[in-house]
Amino acid sequence: MAEITQAAYQNLRDYIQANWKYIELQDDTGVAIVRLSVYDSRVTWTHSVGEQTLKLQVIIKGSDSDITVPKTFAKSVIFNVATGGNLLSTESFTPFTIEGDQDELTVIHLIEVPKVV
């Protein structure tokens, strides 16, 4: 079995960044709260070019028009489609409840390619 090269891993990272364009925040039971595109102003890729770990950051505020408070967030999920689809990456975090307009949640979803165990 052949190992792929570093260039191939970079190609995979580039593909992920170009095509996995939606991050969904869910509650602790896996129910979707909001799914955002990477083109939404609240979503940003924050890693440097060539890094092994891709970092997709989303910042949600209680004052956001698509968030009803109170709401508890516990998981981020990456998709390549705006609705439906299969989850491509999932990451759980300590549940956080947005209780009012002044509350803010920052989630950084990490995708490691290749995954180092």
Q: Domain map of the chain by residue range? A: 6-112
Answer yes or no: pTM beyond 0.85.
Answer: yes
Please enumerate in sequence order all residues whose Cβ is within 8 A of that of 110, keeping only pairs 6 or more positions apart, or say none: 53, 54, 55, 91
Element (H, E) at 15: helix 6-19
Token pair, residue 39, equals 């083109």
Res 2: pLDDT: 85
Residue whose token pair is 């999920």:
77
Q: Dump pLDDT digits (tens) for 59-98.
A: 999 999 999 999 999 999 999 999 999 999 999 999 999 9
Tell me how far the alpha carbon of residue 24 is from its chain's centroid.
Answer: 7
Tell me which residue of 66, 91, 60, 67 sits closest to 77, measured CA to CA. 91
Q: Given this model, what pLDDT does residue 71 score?
A: 96
